Amino acid sequence: MRKYGYIRVSDKDQNEARQIHALIEAGVDEAYILMDRQSGKDFDRPQYQLLKKVLREGDLLVIKSIDRLGRNYKEIIKEWQFITQDLKVDIKILDMSLLDTTLHKDLLGTFISDLILQVLAYVAEQERINIKQRQAEGIASAKSMGKHLGRPKIKVPENFEDVYKRWKNNEITAKIAMRELNLKPTTFYNIVKNKTY
């Protein structure tokens, strides 16, 4: 039996340290922890798909909480059944002791686990719906107040066009152009890419 851990964080700003710590505390070797930085709306995630390929009968999959597995009710149920029934791999959800297929192997235990799983999967999907609704409301509110959303607009230096033409005509290097414009390379090339000359 090998213990695997799975972590999912929704975006690059979320910190996965809490999940990693919990999995290591549960006895998962860090080398066997797979992580995706992606939404839980579906299971089309590279590390999750890899995990399904490496899991073998008798292995144990440890996850911090059910919403880290996913946030789509039907898909969570389908994936749970695939892992536990088709692959014959046990799953242990650390935040919910009733969702531990290594325990309660009898009919009543399986029934209780399945019931709890369905309730929690439903709650996870509802939270995803609520998050999307709150985001949409926040965006609508910000727009109605005239706030700019997204990255701040790049301020193009007044002398950009002159410096750009000299650079384009190979009169100066890109490094000199950036120095004259007082721009970082990424900003310089973003302006070049987004402007038409």
Q: Active-site residue numbers? A: 10
Type of residue found at 192: V
Which phi and psi (to 5°) does residue 90 adopt? -80, 150
Is residue 7 within 8 A of residue 20, CB to CB? The reply is yes
Question: Distance from first CA to last CA of the chain, Å, rounded?
Answer: 62
The contacts of residue 134 (CB under 8 Å, 6+ apart) are: none
